[in-house]
């Protein structure tokens, strides 16, 4: 069965869930620069999947999946920093980092399957 809509992709669904988690957790953060950066990066993950899916070629789609992968890595890096800055505790950070690792594996597998 061929996927007809980007909304059917598990990696898109999970990246949307991650964005909601990030927004909820960092809602009250007073470091507006940090909050803006991590929320923008997390939204970029699912948006790049969606945008790439709607492109006219697999090459374009793959390129956007790499953008998603990069944004996902940026979020993961910022989660490590957020823990060190005491913005979130180690347990929350660990749960979110695991979610980024899962999304990363899904993106990598999807990209690999397109080669």
Q: What is the pTM of this model?
A: 0.94
CATH number at residue 49: 1.20.1440.60
Number of domains in the chain: 1
Return d(Cα 70, Cα 83) in angstroms, integer.
20
Q: Does 1 map to a domain?
A: no
Q: What is the pLDDT of residues 96-115, one digit of tens each?
A: 999 999 999 999 999 999 87
Return the residue matching tokens 């709607």: 54
* Sign, CA torsion 82/83/87/91: positive
Q: Does 2 map to a domain?
A: no
Residue 40's domain comprises 7-25+32-113
Q: What is the pLDDT of residues 32-76, one digit of tens each?
A: 999 999 999 999 999 999 999 999 899 999 999 999 999 999 999
Residue pair 66/57 in contact by the 8 Å Cβ criterion: no
Among the listed residues 64, 42, 12, the one whose alpha carbon sits nearest the alpha carbon of residue 34: 42
Q: Does 67 map to a domain?
A: yes
């Amino acid at each position: 069965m061929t996927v007809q809509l980007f909304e059917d992709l598990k990696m898109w669904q999970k990246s949307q869930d991650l964005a909601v988690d990030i927004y909820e957790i960092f809602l009250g953060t007073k470091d507006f620069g940090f909050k803006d950066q991590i929320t923008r990066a997390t939204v970029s993950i699912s948006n790049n999947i969606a945008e790439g899916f709607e492109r006219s070629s697999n090459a374009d789609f793959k390129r956007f999946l790499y953008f998603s992968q990069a944004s996902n890595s940026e979020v993961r890096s910022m989660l490590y920093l957020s823990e060190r800055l005491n913005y979130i505790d180690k347990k929350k950070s660990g749960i979110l980092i695991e979610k980024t690792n899962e999304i990363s594996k899904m993106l990598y597998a999807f990209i690999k399957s397109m080669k």
